[in-house]
């Protein structure tokens, strides 16, 4: 009888989604010329909906947020009762913001309401990641994609938030999150 897992590998998922979205933003004309913009945007849109579903408790109070982290067959409790940490949540924040930029562009998959929802949830999750520093580890067993530190994921999330603040702010001054990211 096969083992039924509900494994959620958010570190590589978040990194892959951020990289795809970032590439689309940097090389938009190439994606469009190759006829791949809408196909890649559809992939990101599906992933965005998944990330939103993983953010099972959304709150403007940092520590009230819950994000379903990696879960494997060595843990038989509820996924939402596992401790979340800044490394996994930081990857999700980066992916959410990068995807929101893609979905804000013109195209068949353009979806401004979803982009705004991603941005709002990314803000909530970034506050949560800063309030719950550390790296995620499974309660039992071995981590499939271990993280040795959380600062890199948190810094990348802050840089994406800085980019969002710069794109949506009417002032030219750097936001507090931008200053925090570069220091």
User: What domains sit in the chain, N to C, each tagged with a CATH number?
Assistant: 10-182 (1.50.10.10)
Compute the mean pLDDT over every residue in the chain, rounded to the nearest whole number: 82
Q: Using alpha carbons only, give the angle 39, 49, 40 rounded to the nearest 5 degrees.
A: 15
**pLDDT of the residue at 1:** 43
48 closest CA partner among 95, 106, 110: 95
- Torsion of the alpha carbons at 176, 177, 178 and 180, rounded to the nearest 10: 90
* Cβ–Cβ under 8 Å, residues 60 and 124: yes
* Cβ–Cβ under 8 Å, residues 48 and 121: no
* Cβ–Cβ under 8 Å, residues 161 and 97: yes
Rounded to two decimals, the pTM is: 0.84
Is the pLDDT at 183 greater than 90, yes or no? no
Total residues belonging to the chain: 183
Who has greater pLDDT, 57 or 108? 108
Please state at what angle helix 37-54 crosses helix 112-131, rounded to 10 degrees.
50
With bands split at pLDDT 50, 70 and 90, how would you rate the model's confidence at 70? very low
Q: Record the tokens describing residue 90, joined without a space.
A: 């930081």
Average pLDDT of span 82-87: 70
With bands split at pLDDT 50, 70 and 90, how would you rate the model's confidence at 29? very high
Q: Using alpha carbons only, give the angle 154, 62, 49 rounded to the nearest 5 degrees.
A: 70
- Over the stretch 113-136, which tens digit does the pLDDT of each residue have? 999 999 999 999 999 888 888 887
Beta-bridge partners for 57: 66
In which residue are the tokens 């930029």 written?
Answer: 101
């Amino acid at each position: 009888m096969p083992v039924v897992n509900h494994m959620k590998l958010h570190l590589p998922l978040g990194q892959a989604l951020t990289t795809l979205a970032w590439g689309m933003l940097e090389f938009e004309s190439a994606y469009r010329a190759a006829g791949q913009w809408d196909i890649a945007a559809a992939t990101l849109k599906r992933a965005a909906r998944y990330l939103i579903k993983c953010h099972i408790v959304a709150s403007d109070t940092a520590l009230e947020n819950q994000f379903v982290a990696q879960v494997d067959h060595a843990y038989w409790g509820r996924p939402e009762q596992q401790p979340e940490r800044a490394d996994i949540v930081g990857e999700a924040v980066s992916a959410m913001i990068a995807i929101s930029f893609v979905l804000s562009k013109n195209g068949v998959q353009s979806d401004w309401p979803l982009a705004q929802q991603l941005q709002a949830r990314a803000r909530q999750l970034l506050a949560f990641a800063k309030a719950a520093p550390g790296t995620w580890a499974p309660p039992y067993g071995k981590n499939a994609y271990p993280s040795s530190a959380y600062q890199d994921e948190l810094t990348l999330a802050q840089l994406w938030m800085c980019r969002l603040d710069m794109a949506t702010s009417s002032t030219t001054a750097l936001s507090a999150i931008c200053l925090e990211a570069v220091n």
